[in-house]
Amino acid sequence: MPFDAYDRPIQYLRVSVTDRCNLRCVYCMPEEGVPKLSHQDILRNEEIVRIVRIAVEMGFVHIRLTGGEPLVRAGIVDMVSELARIPGLDDLSMTTNGLLLRRYAEPLARAGLRRINLSLDTLRPERFRQMTRWGNLEDVLAGRETALAAGLWPVKVNMVVIRGLNDDEVVDMARLTLQPEWHVRFIEVMPLGAGAHWSGDGVVPSAEIRARIEEALGPLTPVYNEVGIGPARYYRLPDAAGTLGFISAITEHFCRGCNRLRLTADGRLLLCLLSGASVDLRTPLRQGATDDELRDLFLQAVLIKPRGHTLEEGIPATLPMSHIGG
């Protein structure tokens, strides 16, 4: 696997397959959406498969499909099937809002998808509609059950916590892990796109979330063997079947252990979630670049990956999350 200039192993590639989404979450984008990439700008299926194959040959063994919402992309099951056949790919997963999971979970599992991360910021139907503007909570919960039945395990539930919006539900969400097959992760809201509006006083530090949960439900015990390769720190409540994870990009940032690059839907290798710096793959790919030339661009991206984000210096991220690929 490649190592960056700070001796971090880079082995995790998040692949945005589309900038489209069937929700308008208040911390992600305005109700009217954001300017969409043209069809010509979006990487084709065969281009994504080729880029991922090259990445896997270099030592990237963890691939996560993201969006936008990946399940709105035409041909997503066929793409998963092709990706799953790449020799050496140990882990193929997806992050989804779950609205379409009832339809796609079983075909995706048959195609070779391993596991799912599910975005779910509230357990209250009216609040879900308020936060997503268009969504139906029942569809997401039914999608989760279908995914588990199809063998997409574990299904990790991601909750973006925002003060004054949904932070009063963190204990209720944590309580779910006392049941089998519930794994919940709490994410600090980040200043990306519409999230910039919520990021200041809206940030609820992970330490505060942990304290609220422990006060209500008992002490948390660290878990060190949890499935996954992302930045979450995992814990378990007393006698709980599931786990609690905390992703603390703002108050306890994890740049020191960052192991990833992001491929945007329009074919750029993004070096950091909170930076606009990138390496263009689409242009050389469509101009006939060889695998070796594309591999060299990957290595270039790895070597110029920054030590960390620039939020502490007051330099904000500028790209909307739907263009970055969560």
User: What's the pLDDT score for residue 226?
Assistant: 61
Is 126 part of any domain? Answer: yes
Tokens 């603390």, residue located: 248
268 within a domain of the structure (yes/no): yes
Alpha-carbon span 202 to 140, nearest angstrom = 25
**Residue at 219: amino acid letter:** P
**Domain-located, residue 199:** yes
CA 266 to chain centre: 17
Domain tally, the chain: 1
Q: How far is CA 176 from the centre of its chain?
A: 21
Give the HSE-up count for residue 167: Cα atoms under 13 Å, Cβ half-sphere: 19
Using CA atoms, how far apart are residues 20 and 1, in angstroms rounded to an integer? 32
CATH number, domain containing residue 206: 3.20.20.70
Range of the domain at 61: 12-324
Asked whether the beta carbons of 302 and 10 are under 8 A apart, the reply is yes
Contact indicator for 285, 47 with CB cutoff of 8 Å: yes
Express as a percent the part of the chain with pLDDT over 90: 76
pTM of the entire predicted model: 0.92
- Is residue 7 in a domain? no
For CA atoms 319, 26, 136, 118, give the dihedral sign: positive
| Structural domain contains residue 1 | no
> DSSP characters for 192-257?
STTHHHHHHHHB--HHHHHHHHHHHH---EEES--S--SS-EEEE-TT-SS-EEEE-TTTS--GGG
Sheet containing 12-16: order of strands: 221-223, 233-236, 244-247, 183-188, 155-161, 115-119, 91-96, 62-66, 12-16, 260-263, 268-270, 278-280
Q: Would 6 be classed as within a structural domain?
A: no
Name the band, by pLDDT with cuts 50, 70 and 90, for residue 314. very low
pLDDT 10s digits, 177-225: 999 999 999 999 887 655 555 556 889 999 999 999 999 999 999 998 7
Q: Report how far residue 51's alpha carbon sits from residue 57's, in angstroms, rounded to the nearest whole number.
A: 10
54-79: average pLDDT? 97
pLDDT over 60 (residue 318): no
Q: Is residue 64 part of a domain?
A: yes
How many residues would you count in the chain? 326
pLDDT band at 230 (very low <50, low <70, confident <90, very high): confident
Asked whether residue 121 carries a pLDDT value surpassing 60, the answer given is yes
Rounded average pLDDT over 277-306:
96
Which of the residue ranges 114-128, 148-162, 194-208 would you say has the lowest mean pLDDT?
Answer: 194-208
Contact 174, 187 (CB under 8 A): no
Cis check for the bond before 154: say yes or no (omega within 30 of 0).
yes
Instruction: Name the least confident of 49-58, 195-204, 254-263, 280-289.
Output: 195-204
Q: pLDDT value at position 315?
A: 44
Domain contains 180: yes
Mean residue pLDDT of the chain comes to: 91
What pLDDT score does 153 carry?
93
What percent of the chain clears pLDDT 70, i.e. is strictly above it? 90
